[in-house]
Structure 1
Amino acid sequence: MFGSPEQMAAAMRQFADMLSASPEAGPVNWDMAKNIARHAVVAEGDPSVMEGERRQIAEALNLADLWLNEVTTLPGGVTAPQAWSRSEWIEKTVPVWKQLCDPVAAQMVETMGGTLGAAGLPPEAQAVAGPLMGMLKQMGSMMVGQQIGQALGSLAREVVGSSDIGLPLSDTAALLPGGVAAFSKGLETPSDEIRLYLALREAAHHRLFQHVPWLRAHLLGTVEEYARGITVDVSALEEKLQGLDISNPERIQEVLGGGELLKPEETERQKAALARLETALALVEGWVATVVDAAAEGKLPSAAALAETVRRRRATGGPAERTFATLVGLELRPRRLREAAALWRALGDERGVDGRDAVWGHPDLMPTADDLDNPGPFVKGGAAFDLSALEEPGEAGEPGPGSESDR
């Protein structure tokens, strides 16, 4: 069952973690998840950030923030820039991942407890399986934590900063020197130019997340709403668990891996949440691309080529997309990035920078999915807005991007 004494020791540590976890600790053993994620990045090399690298990253983020002052009315979002190792990225983003992953994990663990009890035990043991349900749920929590830990470890090896996936994973603007170096491989562009371009994207995201009061709650809330509609394919799980030896954690991990057991409900509410999220992500990424292009113009010779590299990376997905699908049952991809960027550019041409950025002032002012299809009427609309008749951002029940409310 185990290929080496090290694997046996690791399995025993994980089993001990499972037994020591409190049943009230939640659906995921997050301490275990963090440990597995950190081990994954350390195993492939995760050196501590050197002082020179920290200085380079801080200087790039501060300079990027200054350049953005010239192309947007939103205030600066970089106050204490940081350079993180991959392990630091894991530690500092786990609170948001917990918020995003727990709704799906809770359903996974609950279903696994019942299904493991029914399908994973021999018939003679099922009559006395009741007392084991708590332990089986703890085992489910351990296994889901293991899956999440591996997924976060994989994502940590790919990201370049705290905002790669378009969600506010941290209040701190940060870049990962290791991630920047990996991004730079194969590009015939000076490293300081690549670092500064990625710093512009990181700083632009943080302007939005810090100074558009309703945006953070809207994005995270929409992901949570979508995740709550995810169900576990019980019949597929039962089929995989028939005759499974529950003393073999490697086999259980294999059964749970890949996210194929996560199944979205085809309800109108689920579809609406997905549409809102896709539109919001596209609008965030489109605005970031627009202001970064403007800030880099005439300053970074390779800006256009780097922008295309980032667009391909975001549009085609990759390990990060599969990782997020594993974590919350959702591909987090701004499918309409080009349309959103074109709309923001047209708004700037028509209304100026002030009028363009004023659209972020209230969720009811935001473009909808229909506006991305036909931006002309939205772009030609009034440049001045009366917010007095609208709800204050942040009130319960507010519509977000994708709302069909009157503007």
Structure 2
Amino acid sequence: MTSASQPDPGDDRDGGLPPELEKLFKDLTGGAEIPPEVRQMLAGSGLGDLDPTVMASMAEQMKAMFSDEGGQDGFDDERATTIARQVSSAAGDPVVTERATTTVREAVRTADLWLDEVTDLAAPGLIGRAWSRAEWVEATMPRWADLVEPVADGVSHAVGAAMGKQLGRLGEGGLPEGLLPPGVNPAAMMGQMDGMLRRLHGNIFSAQAGQAIGHLATEVLTGCEPSLPLVASPSVVLVPHNVEAFARDNELEGGELTVHLAAREAARVRLFHAVPWLGPHLLAVVRDYARGIVIDTDAIEAQLATIDPSDPAAMSTALEGRLFAPPDRTPAQQQALTRLEATLALVEGWVDSVTARAVAGHLPNAGALDEIVRRRRAAGGPAEKTFGALVGLELRPRRLRDAVNLFAALEAAGGATLRDRAWSHPDVAPGAADLDDPLGYVERLSAPEADDFDAELESFLRGEGGSEQDHE
């Protein structure tokens, strides 16, 4: 056997390879020596010049990646948070000043008083908070994690399967000579690497999610602008840096815009607080849709065939925007999408109606501000882009006008009381069909005596009604 097969200790020094790297290679290949060609390639990369402490840390990270403790298979919220903060700060994220905090607090206090005059749905003790982009990322990431976890799991397993298929096709002779010990089949090796690959691609997905949320943080104006309960009562959050940029871009007076946005956000927070079933229902529908997403494994496989499997950056670039199959949805997923679109439209439709009532007579340019917000939303705002990046779903605002019309019809028939009664119980809340027939919904909701009769009849048929004599 040659000296290349059995190197003496001096080979590490002569070949320029740190002992940590030599040991790592042996650990990962069952004790095989580094082939001369691979040794030369690694030595030429400059690894021998690394500080021993840095090299040891890199080796530990690599071994952790191959071990069962190498990270999460699915969504890694810590990694996503770190990347989201980097993305949001790269665009500029100044510290919120005390003046901005005071302005937001007073705007929310004022808007809350105006809302008291137009709705009984309340959230006691609302507090206006001015957050930086980083603070918004930190506070909302747990909710984003809930939403994208089902997709992260699907991506991780689908990419791992596609990688296994690609390496399996290589056979024994498809890799550079000497890279693996003789007799080791790449396909068999993939079975041992499966956990590592799932974690690797879970990290890639988490990084892409972090980028999407980070970009959203640079544009979002308020805490719950995506119409999701991302921030819980009593906090009513505005992002002053983004509000100022939005005011400049649209040539608006900043103070009036701040109060208008505070009214919208306070209305959302009131709705999610006063209707406790609404937030969980909305999040459950988003998760139901996400679970039904089909990962386009053919597209993944085609992309992976063209890249270097050892380059995570190349993998991330190749997979971006190609994870989700064409929009041939299952019936269950289509039902979830219909419920999701309707519920989000109803939330924003109610917020539109209540905010318009609250600010009328108080803000000189209320009508113009309403129109600017509608245009921002209709053009496909940051929330829609983020949904598309995270769960392959592009929300369309086409049902918002229907929702506004429905709440306007309720107000016309029974004032604010009837309008808000739509949220009194999940069974009476409007759905997609009611957006198609708002007058029919108004008629049903306006007849409480009929509802009482139906409830009593149902109770009787279940054997719950009648006196004790009736049951003897």
Runs of 5+ unmatched residues, structure 2: 1-53, 173-185, 456-472
Larger-gyration structure (1/2): 2
Q: What is the aligned partner in structure 1 of residue 111 from structure 2?
A: 64
Q: Which residue of structure 2 lines up, in the alignment, with residue 30 of structure 1?
A: 77
Provide Cα deviations, 1:89-132, integer angstroms capped at 9, x if missing partner.
11000111000000011000011112112215743322322111
The match for 2:388 is 325
Distance 1:22 1:293, change over 3 A: farther
Cα 1:70/1:178, change in 2 over 3 Å: same
The counterpart of 2:272, out of the listed 209, 214, 222, is: 209
Q: What is the identity, as a one-letter code, of the residue corresponding to 1:306?
A: L
Q: State the number of aligned residues.
A: 380
The normalised TM-score by structure 2 is 0.76
RMSD: 2.4
Q: Is the 8 A contact 2:96 2:240 kept in 1?
A: yes
What amino acid does structure 1 have at the position aligned with 2:226?
Answer: I
Q: 1:233 aligns with which of 296, 303, 311?
A: 296
Does residue 1:73 correspond to 2:139, yes or no? no
Pick closer, same or farther for the CA change 1:202–1:318 going to 2, 3 Å.
Answer: closer
Q: How does 1:101-180 map to 2 (within 5 A)?
A: 101-120=148-167, 122-124=170-172, 125-171=186-232, 172-180=235-243
CA distance in 2, matches of 1:234, 1:69: 52
Displacement after TM superposition at 1:328 (Å): 1.2
Distance 1:291 1:134 in 2: 51
Which of 41, 52, 65 aligns to 2:88? It is 41
Amino acid corresponding to residue 444 of structure 2 in structure 1:
G
Displacement of 1:259 in angstroms is 5.1
Q: 1:382 to 1:241 in 2, by over 3 A?
A: closer
Going from structure 1 to structure 2, the CA distance change for 1:39 and 1:298 (only over 3 Å counts) comes to same
Corresponding residue SS for 1:188: coil
Contact 2:155-2:323 within 8 A present in 1 as well: no
User: 2-side partners of 1:137 and 1:197: how far apart?
Assistant: 46
1:29-79 per-position Cα deviation (integer Å, ceiling 9, x unaligned): 221111111111111211111111111111111211111000111113652
What amino acid is the match of 1:131? Q
Structure 1: unaligned runs, 5 residues or longer? 1-8, 391-407
In structure 2, what residue type is equivalent to 1:123?
A: G
8 Å CA contact 1:143–1:253 kept in 2: the answer is: yes
2:350 corresponds in structure 1 to 287
Shift of 1:200: 0.6
The residue type equivalent to 1:170 in the other structure is V
Give the whole-Å Cα distance in 1 for the aligned partners of 2:68 and 2:363.
51
Using the size of structure 1 for normalisation, the TM-score is 0.87
Q: Distance in 2 between matches of 1:178 and 1:333?
A: 27
Give aligned-pair identity as a percent: 43
**In the aligned structure 2, how far is the partner of 1:178 from the partner of 1:21?**
43
Secondary structure, aligned partner of 2:294: strand
- 3-state SS of 1:330 partner: coil
Higher relative contact order (CA 8 A, sep 6+): 1
